[in-house]
Structure 1
């Protein structure tokens, strides 16, 4: 058995013991030598296991003392719940959603406003070689239209990958798209009509709000709670009170919180929506990026293709610029395919051929293990820097996956004011009100943590912290 698998199995066993309370907060863990002796593993494997748990924020290393189970931190953004139930469905009316495009197009910023991985963590060289081989192998095919549904070999790869997490997919129900956002937009266009009511999480990715606005839909918001994910009980109450046509949800590593919804709540969400005829549009973009290495189930696992359309892409795990995503259409495959055909005819052929070549030559899982470890380490370093250098009373999320950090600012600091001041310092972050239909979260900001930790990143976070302290004293 490889060392990678040994340390992951050991880390997983200790993770479960921490979550169950067998290993308690503050408890000293066995020394590396003792752990290696007791588990009959090498010292290097023991180090890897502890470092993985440290990246996830479950243990901490104390100088000259060893490793300890971390105490639950107090500095996590507070959760809100009941206030959303009384809200009536309303169109997307947040004018700030248009302005975010200006920031995203800038190239003169330290891009902490972006939720994309560092290119150094992605297999750029291997992908470039695959693109070149695809062009040489059949130039005419690479430069021509393919079928609207996408190339069969790629659809088979996607179905095989879902089978590994307990989701049996017929490759014939997979529709290839230009990224996950196109998949979501096409699904919204297929299953809703202008004026329909949809449920979104709060906070949620601003791009999902923009997609909903483009279809002229009305929004209800259900809380996504730090460390817990989607509030399943409140979601059920909402769809019982209102005629909800669709629920656009991110159960695995919500952007911006990085929280994951537990499996029991996922079952309850699917059951509640099925009972009311509400279509679930699942954004599974970050599903493969669990810091623990344990891929959480998509909602589709608890559905037979009747009520859930799962959307995702390779953007966050291989290359954002390839723009290759997909929909798992279930019984709606034909409708989705028709919408796709009328919209963009087909997804570009060359990136699909390049990915087929790449998968034939490279192990996706091996690259993902490296990426997950790096993202977990980034998130921990970024979070600690925020808590160290930003004003007292700042709270920061503890993401379980993905590449975003959600930061709550102490009063009287305003997220928009900090966003503008950070831009003046050459640092991009995003104000919290972008992540709510009603512009909530005025005292929050989102910080992307996909870039590898460096002195430049540390300086950028220190600079933003200094600006925040000045705003606090004003």
Structure 2
């Protein structure tokens, strides 16, 4: 037996016997080599072999971890041939996104916990702006947004191979206002809009509020947008626009490949479909490698790119943007007619923060934490939830999409969890027709502690009781 195989076998045995548990960090390459009396190259080979077998997972700058491989992927569902129609989902139309109240544990919220944000640096930037430029802070912001911030956003697009001019960027109150403005400018009531299924309920609520019809395209676990089905949908239906989340779809966390992104843009251009890209999670790749936005492959000027600082820096500052050429002038007018402009203080403070601090350093820490939390959630589901629970393992973002055992109802679980002080998102919110009744979305954005571990155990017992499954032993 080769040396690296001997080391791999020893680790494989420890994982099988539960000595090394799912989600647990493995020894560093140096310590592994020293512990087994082998060279560093041999230790690397052993980890690479276990990674190929799916037993361990590597995280940039964090090391190797035991993979939570005891959970099953979601069961495949046949594609439904539905005609475009208005959104008819009472749970969706009556829902509002709100923070947890009182002592509720916010496992429903796909936003980072306060302790994961660069609080001190952001506070210093706000104080500096108030102290040094009070006249600018208390004045109206331009409808398009302050130029300094637009330039900094354009620089980040250039870094991922998608050049954008600061002159086509419009600052908004978060990504949802950006999507709302883009739809208002490019569509009229009654138009058909293509969206993914499942997708974020805020997108569906915006489409409903603008009296647009919706046509759903599947987002596949681990693969992203079903581009193979796109041609059929566009040939059979007159679609005006598509609101898509190719980078870490909410709630699946799936990533559409570069090849499929390129094909998607090409086919939408061929059919005259405007793409409104929600890239709010693009910076949160758990691998550490930021995927490209659709804008990179847009040679026809059909992509409006929307983003936000909410998920990576500060949800409460309500700072988003869109890059809308050739619709920039119309978007600025729409912004002016609705709110005149944004808030100068938040825009100036964000510009100050981005100029003075290393955003990439913060993002590396945040990505590692989200990846760790995702593994911990998977481990908790494997330990505490019924054995036939299925999970879509995300590649980025802040969400974990969980399929409950057969005959389970996420609405009943939502009510039962509330009574225990836990808030989750039932799957029916992520479909225009109330599908996914057997799914829930959980947040990876909380700080992991004993309370969260106990909550996952409590949820596992609730799932088992409501679905008639056997409760796992602690």
**Which TM class, normalised by the smaller chain length?**
0.7 to 0.9
Deviations 1:99-126 (A, max 9, x none): 4327646343100010111211110111
- Aligned counterpart for 2:273 among listed residues 275, 278, 286: 278
Match in the other structure for 2:461: 466
| CA distance 1:347–1:430, change in 2 (3 Å) | same
- Which of 76, 80, 90 is equivalent to 1:79? 76
Match of 1:127 in 2: 122
Could you tell me which residue of structure 2 aligns to residue 362 of structure 1? 357
Alignment CA distance shift 1:98-1:106 (3 Å): farther
Q: Are 1:435 and 2:449 an aligned pair?
A: no
In the alignment, the residues of structure 1 paired with residue 383 and residue 184 of structure 2 have an alpha-carbon distance, to the nearest angstrom, of 45
Partner of 1:381: 376
Verify the 8 A CA contact 1:309 1:330 in the aligned structure 2: yes
Q: Give the secondary-structure state (helix, strand or coil) at the position aligned to 2:460.
A: helix
- Do the aligned residues in 1 keep the contact of 2:187 with 2:240 (CA within 8 Å)? yes
Secondary structure at the residue paired with 2:240? Answer: strand
The correspondence of residues 180-259 of structure 1 with structure 2, limited to 5 A, is 180-259=175-254
Residue in 2 that maps onto 1:371: 366
Shift in CA distance, 405/68, structure 1 to aligned 2, threshold 3 Å: closer
CA change 1:82–1:305 in 2 (3 A) is: same
> Does 1:415 find its partner at 2:410?
yes
In the alignment, which residue of structure 2 is the partner of 1:59? 56
Q: 2:393 aligned with 1:398, yes or no?
A: yes
Match of 2:156 among 145, 161, 173: 161
Match of 1:170 in 2: 165
Structure 1 unmatched runs, 5+? 1-27
The CA distance in 2 between the partners of 1:389 and 1:336, in whole Å, is 49
Deviations 1:353-382 (A, max 9, x none): 001111121010010000000000001101
Change (3 A) 1:136 1:465: same
What is the match of residue 149 of structure 1? 144
List gaps (5 residues or longer) in structure 2: 1-25, 470-474
Are the aligned partners of 1:29 and 1:69 in contact in 2 as well (CA < 8 Å)? Answer: no
Instruction: Tell me by how many angstroms 1:239 deviates.
Output: 1.2
Confirm or deny: 8 A CA contact 2:71 2:391 kept in the other structure. no
2:306 pairs with 311, 315, 322, which one?
Answer: 311
TM-superposed CA distance for 1:390, in Å, is 1.2
Following the alignment from structure 2 to structure 1, what is the Cα–Cα distance between the partners of residues 234 and 70? 34
My pick for the range that moved more, 458-467 or 298-307, is 298-307
User: Which residue of the partner structure matches residue 6 of structure 1?
Assistant: none
Q: Summarize the Cα distance change of 1:312–1:102 in structure 2 as closer, same or farther, 3 Å threshold.
A: closer
Question: Hey, what does 2:443 align to over in structure 1?
Answer: 448
> For 1:90, what is the secondary structure of its paired residue?
coil
Residue 93 of structure 1 deviates from its aligned partner by 1.3
Matched positions, count:
433
Q: Deviations over 1:274-314 (max 9, x none)?
A: 00110000000000000000000100110046100010100
User: Are 1:387 and 1:396, in contact at CA under 8 Å, matched by a contact in 2?
Assistant: no
| Displacement of 1:454 | 0.9
Backbone CA RMSD of aligned residues? 2.7
Change (3 A) 1:268 1:466: same
Once residues 31 and 172 of structure 1 are traced to their aligned partners in structure 2, the CA distance between those partners, rounded to angstroms, is: 48
